[in-house]
């Protein structure tokens, strides 16, 4: 799981923008990157809001890098 912060949510497009740490499984070692991700399930976007600290998993998919799991940090 990667730690991140939600910066923007685009429900109609099924996308989320997050500032995040390194994503080891995607060979992204940079810290403090901000990226737009697709979400595997649009319902995930209803679980979070801008400013939330989250943990997430992302994988490469045919449509681009996709968030497959997201949860708020407590």
Write the pLDDT tens digit of every residue in 9-68: 999 999 999 999 999 999 998 888 999 999 999 999 999 999 999 999 999 998 899 999
Q: The domain that contains 22 carries what CATH number? A: 2.40.50.320
If you write DSSP's letter for every residue of 23-57 in order, what string do you get?
A: BGGGTB--SSEEEEEEESSGGGGGG--TT-EEEEE
The pLDDT assigned to 63 comes to 83
The pLDDT assigned to 37 comes to 97
Q: Which domain holds residue 12?
A: 2-72
Confidence of residue 4 (pLDDT cuts 50, 70, 90): very high
Question: Which residues make beta-bridge pairs with 15?
Answer: 10, 38
Number of structural domains (the chain) is 1
């Amino acid at each position: 799981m990667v730690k991140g912060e939600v910066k923007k949510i685009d429900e109609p497009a099924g996308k989320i923008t997050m500032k995040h740490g390194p994503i080891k499984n995607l060979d992204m070692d940079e810290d403090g990157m901000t990226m737009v991700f697709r979400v595997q399930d649009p319902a995930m976007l209803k679980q979070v809001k801008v400013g939330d600290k989250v943990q997430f998993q992302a994988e490469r998919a045919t449509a681009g890098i996709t968030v497959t799991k997201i949860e708020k940090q407590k």
